[in-house]
């Protein structure tokens, strides 16, 4: 069984670091919704580091044509149905459901990284956009992250732990899903 491993979690939960480490450990390719949005923003002459603009662009793409958005993200990462692959930055249940369809025959699995506000705030404190944390965390695109995605996830990992422990927990879940 091939797996399309989809990571979700709030800002500062460690999605990018964890998904990159998990992809490297498994030898799988990886892409992210944030990676795609930053590239699109840069191509259009916008600021790829402006979180508010990135959130708004992502929301517009979700509302305009979510299937095209998901397809573009997967294509940009080099995904082909049937591949083992990691995608980071799922922010809506409806987007995950589209990834389930677009990824077949790869089996889409949603992994939610849950972290306390204090952990997330500490992680983003060193980022250039740290001052934007409160506004960004309250953005409408974060709603499903807080409410519906953890309930829909195939696995929830405690992301308050050190990176190596979070990665190990994710790898253990992937192994269990693949029957190893």
CA distance 4 to 84: 6
Is 40 contained in some domain? no
- Give me the number of domains the chain comprises: 1
Which tokens sit at 5?
Answer: 């491993």
Mean pLDDT across the chain, nearest whole number?
A: 87
Alpha helices in the chain (DSSP H): 15-26, 33-43, 51-64, 66-76, 93-103, 117-124, 133-137, 143-146, 148-152, 163-177
CA distance 94 to 141: 12
- Position 177 scores a pLDDT of 93
CA distance 110 to 9: 10
- Per the CB < 8 A criterion, the answer to whether 5 and 31 are in contact is no
pLDDT tens digits for 117-175?
Answer: 788 777 666 656 656 555 455 555 555 566 688 889 999 999 999 999 999 999 999 99
CATH number, domain with residue 105: 3.40.50.300
Is 15 contained in some domain? yes
CA distances from 141 to 48, 83, 120 (A): 18, 28, 17
Is 75 contained in some domain? no
Is 63 contained in some domain? no
Is 43 contained in some domain? no
Q: Would the pTM count as exceeding 0.85?
A: yes
Is 36 contained in some domain? no
CA distance 44 to 38: 10
Strand-pairing partners, residue 108, are 4
Instruction: Look at the alpha carbons of 158, 168, 10, 150 in this order and tell me if their dihedral is positive or negative.
Output: negative
- Residue 140's domain spans which residues? 3-31+81-177
- Per the CB < 8 A criterion, the answer to whether 139 and 55 are in contact is yes
Cα-Cα end-to-end distance for the chain: 11
Is 24 contained in some domain? yes
pLDDT tens digits for 107-127?
Answer: 999 999 998 878 877 766 665
Is 54 contained in some domain? no
CA atoms in the 13 A half-sphere facing the CB of 22: 33
- Position 178 scores a pLDDT of 87
- Residue 6: strand, helix, or coil: strand
């Amino acid at each position: 069984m091939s797996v399309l491993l989809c990571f979700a979690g709030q800002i500062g939960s460690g999605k990018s670091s964890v998904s990159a480490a998990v992809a490297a450990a498994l030898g799988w390719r990886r892409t992210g919704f944030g990676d795609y949005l930053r590239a699109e923003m840069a191509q259009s002459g916008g600021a790829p580091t402006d979180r508010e603009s990135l959130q708004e662009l992502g929301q517009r793409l979700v509302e305009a044509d979510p299937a095209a958005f998901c397809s573009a993200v997967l294509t940009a990462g080099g995904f082909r149905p049937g591949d083992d692959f990691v995608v980071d930055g799922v922010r809506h249940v409806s987007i995950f459901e589209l990834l389930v369809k677009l990824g077949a025959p790869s089996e889409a699995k949603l992994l939610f990284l849950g972290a306390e506000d204090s952990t997330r705030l500490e992680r983003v404190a060193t980022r250039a956009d740290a001052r934007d944390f409160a506004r960004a965390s309250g953005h409408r695109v974060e709603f499903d992250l807080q409410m519906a995605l953890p309930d829909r996830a195939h696995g929830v990992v405690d992301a308050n732990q050190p990176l190596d422990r979070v990665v190990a927990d994710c790898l253990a879940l992937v192994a269990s899903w693949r029957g190893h």
